[in-house]
Amino acid sequence: MRTRLRSERGASALELAVYTPIMFFVIFVIIQFALHYHGNQVAHSAAREGSRILRVEPNALSEAEQHAAEYAAQLGGNHLTDVTVQAQRVGTDYVRVEVCGRAREIIKNITPRVCQHAEGPIEEFQPDI
């Protein structure tokens, strides 16, 4: 067994005082990253749902935006706030839906906004010839 020298007294308390804030900061960063990732996934799922509606009915822009916003609220709950949805036609045969919002944050305004988009061709029925 090693005996401590007189000059090492209180070293454990000092180490705890130094390392504890660093450990808490790392834990908060990991949690914030997970919340941002989850908000990103909610926004992408909502954009896919809006795109799915718009690909079938390309003139239903407001319905697709409303459906994407409702889907984000239903899927994410309060994990994605301040949601904005923009649906548009790209050219004559493509549609695009973009969903943006703020992921839940531990400390306000430290993470960037989450923006995801989904696009695809307009689906048309083409009869057999």
Domains, the chain, in order of start with CATH, read 9-121 (3.30.1300)
CB 64 within 8 Å of CB 53: yes
Assign 49 to helix, strand or coil. helix
Q: How many Å is the Cα radius of gyration of the chain?
A: 24
Q: Please report which residue ranges of 1-129 form alpha helices under DSSP H.
A: 11-56, 61-76
pLDDT at 84: 92
pLDDT at 15: 81
Tell me how far CA of residue 15 lies from CA of 7, 25, 91, in angstroms: 15, 16, 62
Binned average pLDDT, 10 residues per bin, the chain of 129 residues:
63 82 92 92 94 89 91 86 90 92 85 90 83
Q: Which string of b and e fits 72-84 if b means at least 16 CB within 10 Å?
A: bbeebeebbeebe
Q: Which string of b and e fits 27-61 if b means at least 16 CB within 10 Å?
A: eeeeebeebbebbbbbbbbbbbbbbbbbbeebeeb
